[in-house]
Amino acid sequence: DIQMTQSPSSVSASVGDRVTITCRASQDISSWLAWYQQRPGKAPKLLIYAASSLQSGVPSRFSGSGSGTDFTLTISRLQPEDFATYYCQQANSFPYTFGQGTKLEIK
């Protein structure tokens, strides 16, 4: 199975800051990577798919990059509603796997 490792596990930031979250795959997954946001008590929401494609309706302050084994999610100009937990997910091969999550907290 492909292991997905996110870093950091948690990060504190302020409204208006720029934040970057990293996801590393245990083997080459090309661009088969997605990012999800989960607010407390809510279902996850797809932000980015195919490593860098913005899902419809998602604000442009969210962006994704990378290919192969190393990927990043960047949130520019943090808004109050962005404080949540973020997960990466690989879709290169079954079984699909998620990273352990990165909790973005208000500083």
Partner 1 sequence: EVQLVESGGGLVQPGGSLRLSCAASGFTFSSYAMSWVRQAPGKGLEWVSVISGSGSRTYFADSVKGRFTISRDNSKNTVYLQMSRLRAEDTAVYYCTKDPQENELVWFDPWGQGTLVTVSS
- The residues of the shown chain that bind partner 1, judged by CB under 8 A, are 1, 32, 34, 36, 38, 43-46, 49, 55-56, 87, 89, 91, 94-101
Cβ–Cβ < 8 Å for 96, 4: no
Comparing CB distances to partner 1, the nearer of 49 and 83 is 49
What is the DSSP code string of 51-69? TTEEPTT--TTEEEEEETT
Distance CA 14, CA 31 (A): 30
**In the complex, minimum distance from the CB of residue 83 to partner 1, in angstroms, rounded to a whole number:** 17
DSSP SS3 for 38: strand
Comparing CB distances to partner 1, the nearer of 19 and 47 is 47
Comparing CB distances to partner 1, the nearer of 17 and 31 is 31
